[in-house]
Chains A and B, each alone.
Chain A
Amino acid sequence: MRIKKITITKEDFNKTIKEILIGLDISPEIVLVKINGTFTPISEVIKKKTELEILHIIKF
């Protein structure tokens, strides 16, 4: 399992995780996301999070 941690910048506040992933050229179809150890839907809007933990678990 590839785990990638992404730090969220100020511009990313109020974006959904999906929008952030697409901005980073990562397909939301191939990852699961954890924030503070909890699995999180990509529809979640980031308010003041500093780090996303992305599990690359799908073969790509």
Chain B
Amino acid sequence: MVIKCNKCKNLAVIYLAYGKHNLCIHHFNDFFEKRFRKTIRMYNLVRSTDYLGIATSGGKDSMVLLYLMNKIYKKSRIKMCALFVDEGTPGYSNKTREVVETFCKKEKIKLVSSSHKKEFGISTGEIAEKYNKKEGTLCTYCGVLRRDTLNRLAEKEKVTKVATGHNLDDETQTVLMNMFTNDAIRLFRTGPLAGIIDLGEDIRPRIKPLYLTPEKEIAAYALYNNIPFHDCNCPFFSEAKRNIFRTFLNETEVNYPGSKFSLIRSFLKIKDVINIDKITTNNHNKSKLRKCKICNNVSSQDICASCRLLKELKIDKL
């Protein structure tokens, strides 16, 4: 039985179980883009005076984000640029860079990039040979340095906000993980406008326009619209803990469609009424933002995460 679109008689290409919709490419695109715009509007993610830095890794999420932000804002007053961090992962980073560079050139988007090697004097490939596996996974090192590099790029380019490609799946996993580790501060920092409790002038707010978009639909949107993306996993990819939550949430979603939306909406409702000050007061030392004693960057601890990790590797921060 060939399935037809619920809104027209064309061939359906996707079934959205949470709404019991079968949609054709045209109506799926329409639905997808409307939700994207609604998320931006509902959470006031973008203002007319903003200069947006779009964090772009070359993966499907960030490429769809870049594509849509460009589509929506290219003719508006809002300026934007793509921010790219080259981690220096052998056989991987050069490919992601190529995807981003080609796309930006074609769409005439300003590309601002840097690398771990340039910022910290060491690439992820070199860290892989040196790091202590007992201290954590390589993703911890790479993730912290990438975030730091992104902050440096944002500061250098003087963007007012950094947009990231975090999607509904990422966010539901993060909510559950933080609850399971009883990390209330980190839990309530997350959200469509990344919840930095005490915004310092050195930290750019993070916005997540794909916050309410399931990962599968992002992949489908990228494929249906021929948006280029790099689709291989990083060779160092290992997120054992997150994978457990990913599988659990995916199984729950198959059995009870709409569960991911329900979870994130419940979280946002709780976040709305929660007294964050009370949580931060009870964990005063952990939560208060201060300057890192080594590099002077804003940090929640006396020494920021990237300085701590670089110290472990016996490397001085540049």
Contacts and interface: CB of A to CB of B under 8 A. Distances in A.
A49 to B, nearest CB: 11
B281 interface: no
A55 B14 CA distance: 13
B92 interface: no
Interface string B232-244: 0100010000010
Q: Which of A18, A29, A38, A40 has the most chain B CB atoms inside 10 A of its CB?
A: A29
Interface string A1-40: 1000000000000000010001000011110100000111
B295 interface: no
A42 interface: yes
B15 interface: yes
A44 B12 CA distance: 9
B1 A44 contact: yes
Contacts, number: 63
Interface stretch (B69-77, B98-106, B120-128, B216-224): B216-224
B303 to A, nearest CB: 32
B22 interface: yes
Interface in B191-247: 215-216, 219-220, 223-224, 231, 233, 237, 243, 246-247
A32 B220 contact: yes
B90 to A, nearest CB: 20
A55 B253 CA distance: 19
B9 to A, nearest CB: 15
B223 A57 contact: yes
A28 B247 CA distance: 11
A57 B22 contact: no
Given A28-B254, A30-B250, A47-B1, A57 B219 contact: yes
A29 B254 contact: yes
B15 A32 contact: no
A47 B60 CA distance: 33
Nearest to A22: B254
Contact of A1 (B15, B215, B231): B231
B15 A43 contact: yes
A15 B15 CA distance: 15
A29 B253 contact: yes
Interface in B1-16: 1-3, 11-15
A39 B14 contact: yes
Nearest to A17: B15
Nearest to B14: A41
Interface of A: 1, 18, 22, 27-30, 32, 38-45, 47, 55, 57-60
Given A28-B254, A58-B219, A60-B243, 4 more contacts: A29-B250, A39-B14, A40-B13, A55-B223
20 contacts: A22-B254, A29-B216, A29-B250, A30-B216, A32-B216, A32-B223, A38-B11, A39-B14, A39-B220, A39-B223, A41-B3, A43-B17, A43-B22, A44-B3, A44-B15, A47-B1, A57-B219, A59-B246, A60-B246, A60-B247
